[in-house]
Structure 1
Amino acid sequence: MYVLGAVAHAGVVDVPAGTRVEVVLERVGGAAADADLARLNLARPVVDGERLYVPRVGETEVPEVLGPDVAVGGSGGAGGAAPGGTSGPAGVDAVVDLNTADQTTLETLPGIGPALAGRILSWREEHGGFTSVDDLLEVSGIGEARMAELRDRVRV
C-alpha cells in the first residue's frame, strides 16, 4: 500500500490485506503533527494496492498530481469497479451510489463511520432505496452540515 500526505515517512509499506489503517500509520512512522486524523477511519481494514492519503488540518482537496484513485482517509484504488459504483474501492472524486453501496464503501464518505453507515443501510432497506440524495436528511445523524459535505459525493 502507498501512504502519503501528512505522515512521517510517505511511501510504500508492505502490510497484509485487512491490516487496520491505524497499524499502517504506525508502519510509516506515524501521522505528522498537523494530520487531520478525524477524517480517517483508523479502524478500516486496507486492501492490497490501495493508496492512502492522510490530509492535513484545513486541507480540503487532495493535490491533483496524486490522481483520482487516492482516497482521503479512505481506500484509494487499485482500479476496477467496486461496490457503490466508485472508480476504485473508493476514490476521492468517486461518487457513491446510495442504493448499491455496502457498509465499507459508505464508511469512506466524509463523516460516515460504522454506526452511521449502518443507519443508512437500514433506512435504505426499510424504505426500498433512496429516490433522491436529499433522502439522506431522513437518516438519523445526517443534518444539513453533513449533507453539505456529502452532496457531491453521493448519487441515487
Structure 2
Amino acid sequence: MQRAAKGGLARRLLAGRVPALMAALVVICLAGVLLTLGRGGGVTIERSDGGEAAAGQESDASEGGEAAETEAPVLVVHVDGCVASPGVYELAGPHLRVNDAVEAAGGLLPEADTSQMNLAAGLADGQKVLVPARAEEGAAAAAAGGGAASQTGVGSLVNINLATADQLQALSGVGEATARAIVEDREAHGPFSSVEDLMRVSGIGQKKFDKLKGQICV
C-alpha cells in the first residue's frame, strides 16, 4: 500500500508539472519568434545599406557628369579687328559661337561693323574671328597707317579684309555671289595676307584677279 501511495503521489506531482513544462515551451517558442523578428530587422538594415549604395551610385553618376563637363573640348581661336582685346583665346563649353569669342576678347568696339558677320555661327578649333570696322573707319585707319587707301583711277582701294559685301560689289566684276563668297571665306579661314590670297575664293581665278588687283588692298 505504501508503494501504491507513493506511485499515486508521483503521478500527482508529474501531473502538476505538465503545465509548467508547457509554459516553458511556450516561452522558448516566443523567444525563437522574437529572435527571428530581430533578424528580420537586420534585413531592414541591409536595405538601408542598399539605399546608401544607391546614393553612392548617384554620387558616382554626378561625379561622372562633372567629369564629362570638365572634359568639354577646348577651342583655341584668334580674335582680331574691332574688339577691345584682340588675341588668342582658349574657350571651353558646348555649342560655342562666334559671339562667345568676341565676348572673350572684351566685346565689340564702337566702330565695329557686324552687318556681314554671323555672330551665331559655330566656332572651330584654330579659327580666326575678324571683326571689321565700318567703311569710313577702315579708310581713316588705312590713311593713318601710310596711305593704304590712296586714290587710284577707280577711286580708293578697297580693303578686302574690312569691306562689307555691299562695298565689295563696287569692284568691277564682283557681283553679289562673289562678294558673299569673299566675306564667307575670310570668316572661315581668317583675313587675306596679300591681295593674291583673293584667288583662294571660289569663283575668282587669275583672269578675274588681274582685273581686281588694281582696286584692292589688305
- TM-score bracket for this pair, using the shorter chain length: 0.3 to 0.5
Relative to the length of structure 2, the TM-score reads 0.31
Q: Return the structure number with greater relative CO, CA threshold 8 A, min gap 6.
A: 1
Largest Rg, 1 or 2 = 2
